[in-house]
């Protein structure tokens, strides 16, 4: 389809015309790849994926720092249609996950739909279709747009005076510079979240000195890592039912422990906190250091860190936990509030992501030229983490108010894709041109969620976290994830407006 024909044909309705809808997918990470495969299987084959980077992989492409691993068991952190008996560890390391993504994309011919080096800059609803602008491409018209950009992909840089003054090597963890040698160097890392814990656990033994700048201690639980040998892999390949059992087992384990703890199960929450305290006691012999590493809020208030290497590493002779606040970055290193200069050769910023962005900063204009970033205004919301009033035929995977935390996002997004396909099938049957969540359904559910989240440990645990947005409350699904899975099984079409 040429540019002129594509743009001129704005008012056509795929369902009325009996044609396959043109669908654009923004992002070629795990969600985008999964969407291509599921949509094709359901008969929706006119797909184009726009990927901003030079290769696929999403967060597992962007992040390749030392020690990178997944905190969800490998067998559950896999596509349901592509089980992998060859995982080398119970909790997979980043390079192996990226290899798995490449394997799936090749096996299911996903790359034939992908436009690399093609960041989407603007989406405009022209009713009932969308105009998409991407760098390096003429404007294109699509019947649907699916945002599969994920959550953790816009790095957040700290607001510290003199950040650009440091004369050594400095980079954010998601922009790790492999060319910088760390052996024997004085390395500083700002932040003590999951990424920092993995990096510190991996590189402290190699560097000359490690300075970890901590603003807030985190709860750290032991990671029960296990390496799988060739005999075990052969058994799994021989008995697929065993593989299915393991998927069920790990899902059930997470849903009956961590998931319950976050929504108010005091007994489960205390069990997790006790396990963290026991590891802290066992692996950090210095009582003064132990005190600095002990949080003053409830475990599960922030995202729980699973890492068995961090405490031994920070206890090592060449490591120091710095709890004095940072006043400035200077050419030689980091200056703290006690006046001390921490001289460094390398400075790593483990300062997280802008988690309220999602598809932004892409300009997204809905009905009546409504702009998405103004609609959200720092507090993004979506109906069932997928749809937004005023933005017909626009879907999000892993959108705002979804069940994140320590769960398999592959599992979440597969359920969302199946839900979305139900909507496409309904439109086909009723020959509808557009589908949009009703404002009253959106507002009712989000009010209910905002009230319910106040009783979770994310809100009552006494911490601040990246879950909390501009409203001051956690932007999360507040009920047990099993409810979300149930809600995804069957679309309640009374919540949506279908327009012919």
119 and 145 belong to one structural domain: yes
Q: Does any domain span residue 55?
A: yes
- Confirm whether 369 is domain-assigned: yes
What is the arithmetic mean of pLDDT over 57-68? Answer: 96
Is residue 96 domain-shared with residue 208, that is, in the same domain?
no
- Domain assignment present for residue 275? The answer is no
Is 290 a member of any domain? no
pLDDT-derived band of residue 354, with 50, 70 and 90 as boundaries?
A: confident
Could you tell me if 162 and 333 are in contact, meaning their C-beta atoms sit under 8 angstroms apart?
A: no
> Given the structure tokens 């901003």, which residue do they identify?
52
Q: Does 288 score more than 80 pLDDT?
A: yes
Same domain, yes or no: 44 and 172: no
pLDDT over 90 at 468, yes or no: no
Q: Are residues 313 and 371 in the same domain?
A: no
Rounded Cα distance, 498 and 493, in Å:
9
pLDDT at 410 over 90: yes
Q: Are residues 317 and 404 in the same domain?
A: no
- Count of domains observed in the chain: 2
What's the pLDDT at 473? 87
Residue 369 is predicted with a pLDDT of: 94
Res. 106: pLDDT tops 80: yes
pLDDT of residue 123: 98
Query: Does the pLDDT of residue 5 top 80, yes or no?
Result: no
Q: What is the mean pLDDT of residues 203-214?
A: 98
As a whole number, mean pLDDT of residues 420-428 equals 98
Domain extent at residue 334: 163-218+302-349
Q: Which of 312, 328, 349 is the last residue of a domain?
A: 349
129 lies in the same domain as 167: no
Q: Are residues 308 and 374 in the same domain?
A: no
> Is residue 293 over pLDDT 50?
yes
Q: What is the reported pLDDT for 406?
A: 66
Question: Is the pLDDT reported for residue 151 higher than 90?
Answer: no
Reply yes or no on whether the pLDDT at 336 is more than 70. Answer: yes
In a domain, 248, yes or no: no
Percent of the chain with pLDDT over 90: 89
Asked if residue 361 and residue 345 are part of one domain, the reply reads no
What is the reported pLDDT for 6? 52
Q: What value does the mean pLDDT of the chain take? A: 94
Residue 130 sits in the same domain as residue 183: no
Q: What is the pLDDT of residue 56?
A: 98
Is 115 within a domain?
A: yes
Q: Which of 337, 333, 281, 304 is nearest to 217 (CA)?
A: 304
Picking from 349, 370, 387, the residue at the C-terminal end of a domain is 349
Domain boundary at 320, 349, 378, which? 349
User: Residue 63: inside a domain, yes or no?
Assistant: yes
Is residue 136 located within the same domain as residue 208?
no
Residue 3 has pLDDT above 50, yes or no: no
This prediction's pTM? 0.95
Q: What is the pLDDT of residue 466?
A: 83
pLDDT above 50: residue 8: no
What is the rounded average pLDDT of the residues 153-160?
A: 90
Is the predicted pLDDT of residue 287 greater than 60, yes or no? yes
Confidence of residue 489 (pLDDT cuts 50, 70, 90): very high
With respect to residue 229, please indicate whether it lies within any of the assigned structural domains: no
State residue 9's pLDDT score. 67
CATH code, domain carrying 312: 3.50.50.60
Say whether pLDDT at 2 is over 60: no
Instruction: Give residue 7's pLDDT.
Output: 46
Same domain, 150 and 171: no
Residues 41 and 137 in one domain: yes
């Amino acid at each position: 389809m040429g540019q002129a024909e594509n743009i001129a044909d704005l008012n056509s309705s795929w369902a009325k015309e009996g044609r396959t809808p043109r669908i654009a997918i923004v992002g070629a990470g795990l969600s985008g790849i999964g969407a291509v495969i599921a949509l094709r299987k359901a008969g929706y084959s006119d797909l184009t994926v726009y990927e901003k980077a030079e290769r696929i992989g999403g967060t597992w492409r962007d992040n390749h720092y030392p020690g990178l691993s997944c905190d969800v068991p490998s067998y559950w952190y896999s596509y349901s249609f592509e089980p992998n008996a060859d995982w080398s560890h119970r909790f997979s390391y980043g390079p192996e996950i990226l290899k798995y993504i490449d394997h799936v994309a090749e096996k299911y011919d996903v790359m034939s739909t992908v436009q690399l080096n093609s960041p989407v800059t603007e989406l405009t609803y022209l009713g009932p279709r969308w105009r998409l602008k991407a760098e390096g491409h003429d404007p294109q018209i699509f019947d649907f747009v699916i945002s599969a950009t994920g959550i953790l992909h816009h790095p957040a840089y700290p607001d510290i005076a003199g950040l650009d003054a440091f004369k050594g090597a400095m980079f954010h963890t998601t922009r790790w510079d492999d060319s910088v040698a760390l052996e024997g160097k004085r390395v500083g890392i700002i932040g003590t979240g999951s990424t920092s814990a993995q990096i510190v656990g991996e590189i402290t033994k190699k560097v000359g000195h490690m300075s970890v700048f901590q603003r807030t201690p985190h709860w750290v639980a032991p990671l029960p890592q296990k390496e799988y040998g060739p005999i075990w892999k052969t058994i799994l390949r021989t008995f697929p039912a065993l593989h299915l059992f393991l998927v069920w087992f790990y899902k059930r384990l997470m849903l009956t422990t961590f998931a319950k703890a976050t929504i108010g199960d005091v007994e489960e929450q205390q069990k997790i906190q006790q396990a963290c305290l026991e590891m802290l006691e066992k692996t950090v012999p210095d009582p003064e250091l132990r005190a600095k590493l002990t949080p003053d809020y409830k475990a599960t208030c922030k995202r729980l860190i699973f890492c068995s290497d961090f405490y031994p590493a920070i206890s090592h002779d060449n490591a120091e936990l710095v709890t004095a606040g940072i006043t400035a970055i200077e050419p030689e290193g980091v200056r703290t509030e006690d006046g001390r200069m921490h001289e460094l050769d390398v400075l790593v910023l483990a300062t997280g992501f802008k988690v309220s962005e999602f598809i932004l900063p892409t300009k997204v204009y809905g009905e009546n030229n409504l702009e998405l970033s103004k609609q959200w205004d720092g507090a993004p919301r979506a109906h069932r983490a997928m749809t937004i009033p005023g933005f017909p035929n626009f879907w999000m995977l892993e959108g705002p108010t979804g069940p994140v935390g320590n769960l398999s996002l592959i599992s979440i997004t597969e359920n969302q894709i199946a839900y979305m396909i139900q909507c496409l099938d309904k439109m086909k049957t009723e020959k509808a041109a557009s589908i949009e969540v009703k404002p009253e359904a959106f507002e009712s559910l989000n009010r209910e969620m905002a009230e319910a989240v106040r009783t979770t440990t994310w809100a009552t645990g006494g911490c601040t976290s990246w879950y909390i947005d501009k409203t001051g409350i956690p932007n999360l699904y507040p009920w047990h994830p099993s409810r979300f899975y149930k809600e995804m099984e069957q679309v309640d079409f009374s919540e949506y407006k279908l327009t012919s």
